[in-house]
Amino acid sequence: MKIIDEMLNLDLLTHEQHLQISAWIARSSTPDEILQMPAPLWQAVERASQAMGIDEDLLRPPSLDAGGAIFV
């Protein structure tokens, strides 16, 4: 839900889209139920995700110095 809120704050979703998406997620008890969200809402999330560069973040290899981790 935090990402959906950020999308709203960045004006990537309308208030109505945010309310509908948040409500859908809140009443879904499984990931499969979330995946059944209506196409217009998914398209809004996809456009916002693209604008935020979320896909690129997920595909980027982790930094070896992330979080002060020590690799031996």
b/e code 49-71 from CB counts within 10 Å (16+ = b): beeeeeeeeeeeeeeeeeeeeee
**30: three-class secondary structure by DSSP:** coil
All residues at 6 or more sequence positions from 69 whose CB lies less than 8 Å from its CB, including other chains: none
The model carries a pTM of 0.75
Q: What is the pLDDT of residues 8-39, one digit of tens each?
A: 999 999 999 999 999 999 999 999 999 999 99
| Chain mean pLDDT for the chain | 88
Higher-confidence residue of 49 and 63: namely 49
